[in-house]
Amino acid sequence: MKYKKILVTGGSGLVGSAIKQIADEKFIFLSSKDCDLLEYNQSFDKISEIQPDCVIHLAANVGGLFKNINQKVQMFEDNILINLNILKICNKLNIKKFIGCLSTCVFPDSTNYPIDENMLFNGPPHESNYSYAYAKRMLEVQCRAYREQYDLDYSCVIPTNIYGPHDNFNLEDSHVIPALIYKCFLAKSRNQDFVVAGTGTPLRQFIYSLDLAQIIIKLLEIEYSDTIIVSPEEEISILDISTIIANKFEYINKMKFDLSKPDGQYKKTASNKRLQKILPDYKFINIKEGLNKTVDWFIENQDKIRV
């Protein structure tokens, strides 16, 4: 690899931890314990000290549907400020390579499927997560501006719903898979119903965290500087996800659905054609295998999980 020192922000999070599994000594991982990225001067001093020539930017204020609904101001302001600080610092320090991480929630709510990279700004995002989504859209705008004005290799990946070990399993703030895993665990331990919010009908594409980590590292090794969706083709319903998890815990007979809770956006089918052209031979882990690995990790690390 041509880069001598690669800084990973959000280094203790879901994707940062996955990169750490496969990284060599060139990678340096920055977490919130090391530096508050909301503070420009603190962040500048820390990154100047590290002197990376490449940055993988994963740090964000992130959560699931209900956090996006209930903490709109924080989700917008924190993410705008973090991204603004990091990119300004990268430019000031003449860091040539930057990969930022978005989310498929940035895409328009009313659109044609499958969604591709050219449709990012074709309409407003879904009402349930517009604050977070607009903040993330601005990261793509900022990267493109730096790329065009200063000829810097700054780009973004747009992964579908990420899951895996080292996730946030908090029942209020987490994404759907870790929330379901923790819910099922608690339900079984208390001999209660495993209650899934909504109808279970929404469809999603999920990517295992190690898959995303491997693809990001591969993107460092090739000449590519544009926004790219990172996703398997397979879509799966929340019902099927819940069923796999309940079966893994051997608790399927106690699964029920709370129809009073919102489903969120029904589907966000994303095209991975651009990714397939760049990495045609990459094979994603099967969703059932990935879920089983994640549940196994959860069970083995109950004293370490983020809740």
Per-residue pLDDT for 286 more than 80?
yes
**Tell me, what's the pLDDT at 303?**
81
**Tell me, what's the pLDDT at 152?**
94
Under 8 Å between Cβ of 219 and 185: no
By annotation, the residues acting in catalysis are 132
**Tell me, what's the pLDDT at 262?**
84
Residue 183: phi, psi to the nearest 5? -60, -45
Per-residue pLDDT for 145 more than 90?
yes
DSSP 3-state of 114 = coil
Per-residue pLDDT for 2 more than 80?
yes
Per-residue pLDDT for 146 more than 90?
yes
Q: What's the topology of domain 6-300?
A: Rossmann fold (3.40.50)
* Residue given tokens 């495993």 in the structure block: 194
Encode burial over 71-88: b for 16+ CB neighbours within 10 A, e otherwise. beeebbebbbbbbbbbbe
pLDDT digits (tens, 9 = 90+) for 7-63: 999 999 999 999 999 999 999 999 999 999 999 999 999 999 999 999 999 999 987
pLDDT digits (tens, 9 = 90+) for 220-260: 988 778 899 999 999 999 999 999 999 999 999 999 999 99
Domain boundaries, the chain: 6-300
**Tell me, what's the pLDDT at 63?**
76
Residue 100: phi, psi to the nearest 5? -100, 160
> In sequence order, which residues have a C-beta less than 8 Å from that of residue 94 and are 6 or more positions away?
none
| Neighbouring-strand partners of residue 204 | 236
pTM of the model: 0.93
Count how many residues are written for the chain.
307
